[in-house]
Amino acid sequence: MVSCLNKNYYVCTGCALLCDDIEVEVSGDQITTIKTACRKGFSRIRGCIEPMPCIVNGKNVDINTAIKDAAKILKNADKPLIFGLGNSTSEAQKQAIKLAKRIDAFIDDTSSFCQGPTLEAILHGKIRTCTLDDVRNRADVIVYWGADPSNSHPRHLSRYSYFPRGEERQRGWEEDRTAIVIDVRKSHTAKICGDKFFQIPLHTDAFFIDALIDALSGKVPNMLFDYDIKNLLKLANILKKAQFGIIFEGFGIYNIEYMETMARLMGKLNEVSNFHLIPMVEHYNMRGFNQNLFEETGFLNRVKFKKCEKGFDVKYGVDYSIMEVLNTKKIDAALIIGSDPMSYLPRSAAEYLLEIPLVSVGPCENFTSRVAKVTIPSALSGVECGGSAVRMDGVKVRFEPIIKRARLSDEEILKRIIEAI
């Protein structure tokens, strides 16, 4: 057995925490032992149950044929879509953007229907943020809003936010930190926070924020739903006293209207105390995609490229989101990379993918790869290929492969598709 325990730590790509302390043992091209990773990271590193072949029109083919057919579909399309990339390296994402420019494609990712507005506000400097290392070292009031990191990012509390001792928090969670959950249900994280769980009815986050802003401003809160005002005042008092506060914003709350309300809350909190916000990005490199596209175009998702005399023109807007282009049948081919929209988009939108030529690139079989005209298996990034990614707090992380297998990485597949086009 070959051991990797010469204190070579690996990075886990199971979620956007990108834990960099993973120890493994390998034998040949098999990983035999995984240490340190949580249950989610363990299953990511263990990989797919069955290796997937290259498939064109339901038949197994070699990689060259699959790439040639994928290139043909994309080249012949007038309005192709490139979607996914949250589970790809930054290097692969840059190739996808290059391809989108080459073929006048729409390009989008899951942030267009989840945390895009928050990341946009952060990238434009409208919301104060910080790193997870700042949180570990300095945070005394931690708010998980619409988030359950015990399940979504299982090592979040132990590595960064609640349990660790930090430079300015030597007495740890017992005395130095207060953890709060605001959510519609009593999650596992809420149970850890005990009486600091503030339960609110479904879809009332924006009203709750308005009432909280009133309380922080010394006004009697105007509650638009049945809620114990004393409880709200108790929360406002904790937030006011924070020396270094952090809100971890989860999927439980999102949309543009809400974002404006949250920006007002952040403004008020920073008048009376000191607060930061980090979105609880789930896919390990969704933030990387947003930042890479932002650097290239000034927009972080929902982009359409069009070649023109000066190079290429960029259009941006809700009309170019995956939901809209599928609902209005605006596209005539799609390349899905490391994602499974057939399983999570509403059926009304997803079923249009059955009507157009679909290319699926990804490490494991899923609903989308099963219905694709061309399926190209790729190396599992962080396990079978290296690269770089952006952690949920914006910190860039480089990682090496744990094992080498024959499969091409997303980056190599995209490069070869571009060459073939």
349 burial type by CB count under 10 A (0-12 exposed, 13-18 middle, 19+ buried): middle
Choice between 37 and 139, CB closer to ligand SF4: 37
Shortest separation between residue 363's beta carbon and ligand SF4, angstroms? 16
- Would you say 283 or 304 has its CB closer to ligand SF4? 283
Closer residue to ligand SF4, CB minimum distance, 17 or 97: 17
From the list 390, 381, 304, 321, the residue with the least C-alpha distance to 114 is 321
Whole-angstrom distance, CA of residue 97 vs CA of residue 409: 16
41 binds ligand SF4 (CB under 6 A): yes
Length of the chain: 421
CB-wise, 20 or 210, nearer to ligand SF4? Answer: 20
> For residues 19 and 331, which CB has a smaller minimum distance to ligand SF4 in the complex?
19
Which span (15-23, 84-92, 115-123, 336-344) binds ligand SF4, by CB under 6 A? Answer: 15-23
Give the C-alpha separation, 38 to 153, whole Å. Answer: 9
The site map against ligand SF4 for 153-172 (x = CB under 6 A) is xxx-----------------
Tokens of 145: 């809003």
Distances (CA, A) of 393 to 132, 167, 180, 416: 6, 19, 20, 32
Number of Cβ within a 10 Å radius of residue 356: 18
Q: Could you tell me the smallest distance in angstroms from the CB atom of residue 349 to ligand SF4?
A: 28
Residue 24 near ligand SF4 by CB under 6 A: no
Q: Which is nearer to ligand SF4, 115 or 261 (CB)?
A: 115
**With respect to ligand SF4, which residue has the nearer C-beta, 18 or 54?**
18
| Cβ closest to ligand SF4, residue 40 vs residue 165 | 40
Distance set, CA 222 to CA 205, 213, 272 (Å)? 14, 10, 20
Of 17-25, 112-120, 162-170, 220-228, the segment contacting ligand SF4 by CB under 6 A is: 17-25
Closest CB 102 distance from ligand SF4, rounded Å = 33
Contacting range for ligand SF4; rule: CB under 6 A; set: 10-18, 67-75, 254-262, 410-418: 10-18
Question: Which segment (13-21, 222-230, 253-261, 320-328) binds ligand SF4 by CB under 6 A?
Answer: 13-21
155 or 416: CB nearest ligand SF4 = 155
- Alpha carbon distance 317, 120 (integer Å): 13
Question: Nearest distance from residue 22's CB to ligand SF4, in Å?
Answer: 7
For position 262 contacting ligand SF4 by CB under 6 A, the verdict is no
Q: Can residue 12 be called a binding residue for ligand SF4 (CB under 6 A)?
A: yes
Task: Determine, following the binding rule CB under 6 A, whether residue 15 of this chain makes contact with ligand SF4.
Answer: yes
Element (H, E) at 413: helix 410-420
Give yes or no for residue 283 binding ligand SF4 (CB under 6 A): no
Work out how close the CB of 284 gets to ligand SF4 at its nearest, in angstroms, rounded to a whole number. Answer: 7
Q: Report whether 307 contacts 284 (CB < 8 A).
A: no
Q: Does 38 bind ligand SF4 (CB under 6 A)?
A: yes
Whether the CA torsion 285, 188, 260, 107 is positive or negative: it is positive
Identity of the residue, 215 or 383, whose beta carbon is nearer to ligand SF4 in the bound complex: 383
- Considering only residues 4, 26, 40, 79, which one is a binding residue for ligand SF4 as defined by CB under 6 A? 40
DSSP 55-123: EETTEEE-HHHHHHHHHHHHHH-SSEEEEE-TTS-HHHHHHHHHHHHHTT-EEE-GGGGTTHHHHHHHH
Position 392 contacts ligand SF4 (CB under 6 A): no
Q: Is the CB of 138 or the CB of 283 nearer to ligand SF4? A: 283
* Helix H or strand E encompassing 23: strand 23-27
Size, binding site for ligand SF4 by CB under 6 A: 13
**Given the rule CB under 6 A, which of 7-15, 195-203, 258-266, 339-347 is the region that contacts ligand SF4?**
7-15
Q: What are the backbone dihedrals phi and psi of residue 55, each rounded to the nearest 5 degrees, phi first?
A: -135, 135
Paired strand residues for 351? none
Nearest residue to 46 (alpha-carbon basis) of 67, 73, 22, 65: 22
Cα torsion 121, 124, 127, 133 to 10°: value is 110
Residue 157 to residue 155: CA distance in whole angstroms: 6
Return residues touching ligand SF4 (CB under 6 A): 12, 14-15, 17-19, 37-38, 40-41, 153-155
